[in-house]
Amino acid sequence: MRNILLLLGFILGAPAFPVVFGVLVGATVLLQPQPVPAQQQIRQLPANGKRGTTGDLLPLPQVVINRETLTLAPGGLIFDTNNRTILHQSLPPGSDVWFQLNNIGQIQRIYILRPEEQARLDSEKKFFFF
């Protein structure tokens, strides 16, 4: 970059060099990528999941969903509304969730639903009979 600027200064002459340099620096600043506001990603919920509401907090690995005590599978994950994994004790009681069971009936994944996901599932329920 320095060599290019020196070459431009030599070609254009000393009086024009500060102007060209200023234009190049200004263009570089204007062309920098600007920060984009954070957008919530659209997450795909597992098709074989079920909807429920969490109950009171129980010791690990027990989880209450729809007034039924279930077991969180080893390696089971809980995702908050921002799709971050959270710990078992951080699962808020009374949350609307989408959960997925493994082949032996333990909870493999729990997704705390966002309001737009709740609305989407409510609208799908109108068209399909579960």
Tokens representing 50? 């079920």
> Domains in the chain, start-ordered, CATH in brackets?
50-127 (2.40.50)
Tens of pLDDT, residue by residue over 61-111, are 999 999 999 999 999 999 999 999 999 999 999 999 999 999 999 999 999
- Asked whether 72 and 106 are in contact (CB, 8 A), the reply is yes
Tens of pLDDT, residue by residue over 21-66, are 666 665 565 566 655 445 556 788 888 999 999 999 999 999 999 9
- Asked whether 72 and 60 are in contact (CB, 8 A), the reply is yes
> Would you state the pLDDT for residue 42?
76
- Asked whether 109 and 99 are in contact (CB, 8 A), the reply is yes
- Asked whether 12 and 20 are in contact (CB, 8 A), the reply is yes
> Would you state the pLDDT for residue 22?
65
pTM higher than the cut 0.75: no
The residues with which 112 forms a beta bridge, in sequence order, are: 97
